[in-house]
Homo-oligomer: A and B are copies of this chain.
Amino acid sequence: MRIVAVRERAVPIASPIANAYIDFSRMNVSVVAIETDLVRDGERLTGYGFNSNGRYAQSGLLRERFIPRLLAAEPAELLEPGGANFDPEAIWAVLMRNEKPGGHGERSVAVGILEMAIWDLVAKVAGRPLHRLLAERHGDGEPDPTVSVYAAGGYYHPGKDEAALVAELEGYLGLGYTCVKMKIGGVPLTEDLRRIEAALELLGGDGSRLAVDANGRFDLAAALACGEAIEPYALRWYEEAGDPLDYQLNARLAERYPHSLATGENLFSMQDARNLVRFGGIRPGLDILQMDPALSYGLTEYLRTLAAIEAEGVDRRSLVPHGGHQFGLAIAAGLGLGGNESYPGVFQPFGGFADGFEVRDGEVALPELPGVGFEAKSDLFAVMEAV
């Protein structure tokens, strides 16, 4: 059993949206296919991966370092003892050979893309859906039958007023979502408060159904001012108020803001996530951690992150991965996390879940298909097959 080819292509996921920090009109992702010499149903067994959203394609790093290392490895180095399946941890060690510690960005995405494809392969070789394989290997044996998902949207567009925002969020409710998330921090606070109040009116005034996301835009004074202004709404969470690495800001905000804070989507290693928990004032049981396995060295590193934050006293139900992809959904179901992001409106075809698996009362189920389940999402799988 060996890898015979690794292919990569950069594909646009441009969306006409902006958050408080960047616009997404030039955003792209790498899609990889790892092909093996195993034949199933007359075709070579192939694992697929891509890099979530928000960070760019990694064609250069993949071609310069990571794909060559994978192809240069002895086939036996990549297998578990006995040779019955690929071994993600052994493969991770091959990918990271001669890489220095620290500096967790970009290469964390490149490795995360390959790692997604490796886990897709491992589950396919085992003939198991990834969420079941994970529940057996790293969870409590049985995956969650459904995962709580929320609709992330509410981006800024030029000319988009409160009525358009409410219409967008209403659309998500019509799709079966009960909770939604909207951007803040891109306009003055008074305007954001009007937007939040308009959204809350749609949600029957229930703040637990609305999260807000500042995408790291605020300094401490602005983060505290916004926190004070939105405190009465008792929102589901207040996300990435400040720079993702400004743990002190988060800790100071957590001293003052009594409701849930969420952050972590821009922390790309176990070490960074552990620092957030150690120094960021994270309140176990209240705050939400959003590390995205596809951007942060894959599921193998995510399992290390999980172990590290559990050792710091944070329950895995506090984890709600960023990204809105099937890989995050399978991980959330298999490991028993708190939920998963979802982008019903943007980042297609990479966002979203299996065809025919509708969101009901804010929950979504997973297909019983070997692997991550990409083959059950036809628009995405068409892109993957073309690689």
Contact = CB atoms under 8 A, between A and B. Distances in A.
B100 A266 contact: yes
Contacts of A279: 247, 275, 278-279
23 contacts: A21-B100, A21-B101, A22-B98, A54-B100, A55-B100, A55-B103, A57-B64, A101-B266, A102-B216, A102-B267, A103-B104, A103-B266, A103-B295, A104-B245, A105-B106, A105-B107, A105-B108, A105-B268, A106-B106, A247-B278, A248-B278, A275-B275, A275-B279
4 closest residue pairs by CB, A with B: A60-B60, A102-B266, A103-B105, A106-B106
Nearest to A99: B22
Interface in A99-136: 99-109
A272 interface: yes
Interface string A234-254: 000000000111111000000
Nearest to A278: B248
A85 interface: no
Interface in A240-289: 243-248, 266-269, 271-272, 275, 278-279
A142 interface: no
Given A102-B105, A105-B106, A279-B279, 17 more contacts: A21-B100, A22-B100, A61-B61, A61-B106, A100-B216, A100-B266, A101-B216, A102-B216, A103-B104, A103-B108, A103-B266, A104-B245, A105-B268, A245-B272, A247-B279, A248-B278, A278-B279
A160 interface: no
A222 B23 CA distance: 46
Interface in A13-61: 21-23, 26, 54-61
Secondary structure type dominating chain A contacts? loop
Contacts of A269: 245
Contacts of A243: 101-102, 271
A126 to B, nearest CB: 32
A99 B63 CA distance: 22
A316 interface: no
B275 A247 contact: yes
A94 B245 CA distance: 22
B60 A56 contact: no
A224 to B, nearest CB: 18
Contacts of A272: 245
A244 B108 CA distance: 16
A65 interface: yes
